[in-house]
């Protein structure tokens, strides 16, 4: 991949070996128990996976976007719930503190987030504010040395296991999106509670839960950056997040194609291997073309963002294409496996359910189309 050093490639190989040895054999357990076993969490901490993107000065590996995406491609080849716990923590959930945090905030939170002792979350969505986060109602009112938060968040990834919550709330309603600020909230802050883990179609093992703030008292020093920077930072975080989601989709497509090739070479019907059927070969070819196109669009977005440009268009294009391509590729993978594709034991049906989320979160396909369309219309 562009911008990826030999050192990062070697690190990715090491991660792949870890996934094959420690995660894949526990995948069915994760799926059925809807939790990551504690011994796997411990092994993951030891592997340093929680600190991937945290700067080295705070105990992490300091990966840039290209490095993070290289790891996401590898993570796409294993259990999706596990990949999401790590991907979310090392992506949108630490990005705000890394980008906006004061030295004191970084020193307090990042070292423990790098080791995985503390898991992070990113909380933007509310019951009335999903695709349109600017409709946010959670309020943060300054009272001397603290802010008092009231409101609700929903569908928050990692909430069930997290200690550190980057929460967006309105500090000045009259300023619209420029009146939205970001706060770091700790699990045991007074007035803060975490609801029950949702039961989901897929992404098992990764908790998703609502958050509630009832006169929740947050020390003023837990404001990230200055008032009004929350929405702007959240959008920057989501732009990079969309590219990392695309990278993971590429890894998932890679994995599915390999699984199909293996299966087609051994499954025999009517006296010949199903690999000999041109119809299935063409299906496989279309899967590979979509994976390769998604990868090139992802690399283009990485290039643009790594140059320090905004990259809104490129991030939306790759997120839209890669997530929709994954939907088609996983559908073909089920078809190629026939009845086996529908059986729990084989694991393709798990990926079929897991893959559905990527067209919804971090901006749905419709929202990506809105962004792309409106940017095209703004061009001369």
118 binds ligand FAD (CB under 6 A): no
Site string for ligand FAD, 32-71 (x = CB under 6 A): ----------------------------------------
In whole angstroms, what is the distance from residue 213 CA to residue 149 CA?
A: 6
Rounded to whole angstroms, the Cα distance separating 204 from 37 reads 12
Catalytic residue among 31, 73, 314, 362: 362
Distance of alpha carbon 118 from alpha carbon 18, whole angstroms: 21
**Closest separation between CB of residue 296 and ligand FAD, Å?**
25
Nearest approach, Cβ of residue 248 and ligand FAD (Å): 14
Question: Applying CB under 6 A, does 203 fall inside the site for ligand FAD?
Answer: yes
93-116 burial, b for 16+ CB within 10 Å, e for fewer?
bbbbbbebbeeebbebbbbbbbbb
Among all residues, whose Cβ is closest to ligand FAD? 130
One DSSP character per residue, 25-60 reads GGHHHHHHHTS--HHHHHHHHHHTGGGTTS-GGGTS
> Judged by CB under 6 A, does residue 226 bind ligand FAD?
no
Task: Take residue 205 and report the two structure tokens written for it.
Answer: 């093992």
Q: Residue 200 or 328: which CB sits closer to ligand FAD?
A: 200
Show contacts with ligand FAD in window 344-373 (CB under 6 A). Answer: 357, 360-361, 364, 366-367, 370
Determine, following the binding rule CB under 6 A, whether residue 157 of this chain makes contact with ligand FAD.
Answer: yes
Least Cβ distance, residue 71 to ligand FAD (angstroms): 19
CB of 348 to ligand FAD, least distance (A): 20
Binding of residue 123 to ligand FAD (CB under 6 A): yes
Question: What DSSP character marks residue 377?
Answer: H
Clarify whether 314 is annotated catalytic. no
H-helix or E-strand spanning residue 11: helix 6-18
SS (H, E, C) 265-299: HHCEECCEEHHHCHHHHHHHHHHHHHHHHHHHHHH
Question: Which range of residues in 32-40, 116-124, 143-151, 258-266 is near ligand FAD by CB under 6 A?
Answer: 116-124
The one among 61, 77, 208, 323 contacting ligand FAD by CB under 6 A: 208
Q: How far is the CB of 124 from ligand FAD (least distance, A)?
A: 3
CA distance 42 to 290: 36
Query: Which of these segments, 28-36, 97-105, 154-162, 309-317, binds ligand FAD (CB under 6 A)?
Result: 154-162
Q: Which residue has the tokens 């007035």?
A: 191
Q: 249 with 77: CB under 8 angstroms? A: no
Residues with active-site annotation = 362
Contact positions vs ligand FAD (CB under 6 A): 122-125, 130-131, 155-157, 200, 203, 208, 357, 360-361, 364, 366-367, 370
């Amino acid at each position: 991949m562009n911008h990826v050093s030999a050192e990062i490639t070697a690190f990715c190989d090491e991660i792949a070996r870890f996934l094959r040895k420690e995660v894949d054999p526990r995948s069915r357990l994760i799926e059925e128990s809807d939790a990551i076993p504690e011994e796997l969490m411990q092994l993951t901490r030891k592997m340093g996976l929680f600190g991937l993107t945290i700067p080295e000065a705070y105990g992490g590996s300091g990966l840039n976007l290209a490095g993070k995406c290289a790891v996401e491609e590898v993570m796409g080849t294993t259990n999706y719930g596990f990949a999401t716990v790590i991907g979310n923590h090392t992506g949108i959930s630490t990005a705000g503190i890394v980008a906006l945090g004061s030295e004191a905030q970084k020193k307090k939170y990042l070292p423990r987030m790098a080791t995985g002792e503390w898991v992070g979350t990113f909380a933007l969505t509310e019951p009335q504010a999903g695709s349109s986060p600017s409709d946010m109602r959670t309020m943060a009112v300054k009272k001397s040395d603290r802010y008092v938060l009231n409101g609700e968040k929903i569908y928050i990834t990692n909430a069930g296991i997290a200690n550190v919550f980057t929460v967006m709330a309105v500090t000045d309603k009259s300023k619209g999106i420029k009146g939205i600020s970001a706060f770091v909230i700790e699990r045991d802050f007074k007035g803060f509670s975490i609801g029950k883990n949702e039961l989901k179609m897929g992404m098992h093992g990764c908790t998703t839960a609502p958050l509630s703030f009832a006169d929740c008292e947050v020390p003023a020093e837990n404001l990230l950056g200055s008032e009004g920077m929350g929405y702007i930072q959240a959008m920057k975080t989501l732009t990079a997040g969309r590219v990392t989601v695309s990278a993971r989709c590429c890894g998932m497509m890679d994995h599915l194609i390999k699984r199909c090739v293996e299966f087609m070479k051994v499954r025999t019907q009517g006296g010949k291997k199903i690999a000999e059927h041109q119809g299935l070969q063409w299906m496989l070819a279309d899967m590979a073309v979509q994976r390769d196109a998604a990868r090139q669009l992802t690399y283009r977005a990485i290039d643009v963002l790594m140059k320090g440009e905004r990259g809104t268009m490129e991030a939306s294009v790759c997120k839209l294409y890669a997530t929709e391509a994954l939907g088609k590729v996983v559908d073909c993978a089920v078809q190629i496996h026939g009845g086996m594709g529908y059986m729990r034991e084989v694991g393709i049906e798990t990926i079929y359910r897991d893959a559905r989320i990527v067209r919804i979160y971090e901006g749905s396909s419709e929202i990506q189309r809105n962004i792309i369309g409106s940017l095209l219309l703004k061009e001369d």
